[in-house]
Amino acid sequence: MSLQFSDEQFQEAWQELDEPQVEGWELFTENPGIKIYRQFNQVTGLYTYKVVGVLTSCGPEQCVDVYMDLAYRKTWDSYVKELHERDYDGQKAIYWEVKYPVLLSNRDYVYMRERRDLDVDGRKIWVVLAQSCPLSQCPEKSGILRVQDYHQSVAFESDKTSGTRMFMNYFDNPGGMIPTWLINWAAKTGVPGFFTDLQKACENYPEYCRKRQK
């Protein structure tokens, strides 16, 4: 299955840096520099999330490089069990297995992603889109639940000082019999935690790159 993102999808992502479309969304939680909104999905019974805010300690180009670097992510994201990009009969895709708490099965994802570095009337904006895709060449593993419905968009831009303005739209359906309270708890703690870890990863990235080049 071939997946191609449209120009309109990239435009929709970066435009929310200027005006987050949160009418009909509820403010779910707020942390220093970060606001997380959610909207109930009637079909799945789950929530779609939007994150807007500022990462104060890293610039946008480094931020997106860290976000794209799968090998580096395995060193700082404690939830990653397996993560790599492969060529499946001419179709590049990312395989990602996520560790779940004890008594719950791990989840895995097969998804495509695309990065674009945009110039919008002199503004430099970085956008990454990702979406799950079924690939028969990457069969499901015993004891691991395959996430069939996942999509994410992120946009980064300088905050005109030394930080990064960012926007994220995120949805996934983990499947299985996970209690709603656990999904909500994971979102409320995990999403802000991810961006805290991302900032630290950005700060440590130059040193990681120097060591890798030796």
Tell me: the pLDDT tens digits for 157-206? 999 998 999 999 999 999 888 877 777 778 878 888 888 899 999 999 99
Residue carrying structure tokens 């995120």: 170
* Structure confidence by residue, pLDDT tens digits, 122-170: 999 999 999 999 888 899 999 999 999 999 999 999 999 989 999 999 9
Q: Which CATH architecture has domain 37-79+112-126+147-213?
A: 2-Layer Sandwich (3.30)
60 — alpha (psi -120 to 50), left (phi > 0) or beta? alpha
Q: What is the pLDDT of residue 3?
A: 62
Spell out the domain ranges in the chain. 37-79+112-126+147-213
Closest by CA to 130, choosing from 187, 92, 161, is 92
What would the two tokens of residue 39 be? 């909207």
In contact, 59 and 162? CB cutoff 8 Å: yes
Question: What is the DSSP annotation of 178-200?
Answer: --HHHHHHHHHHHHHHHHHHHHH
d(CA 171, CA 178): 16
d(CA 29, CA 185): 11
Q: What is the pLDDT of residue 1?
A: 46
Q: How big is the chain, counted in residues?
A: 214
Question: What is the DSSP annotation of 76-121?
Answer: H-TTEEEEEEEEETTEEEEEEEE---TTS--EEEEEEEEEEEEEET
pTM of the model: 0.93
30 — alpha (psi -120 to 50), left (phi > 0) or beta? beta
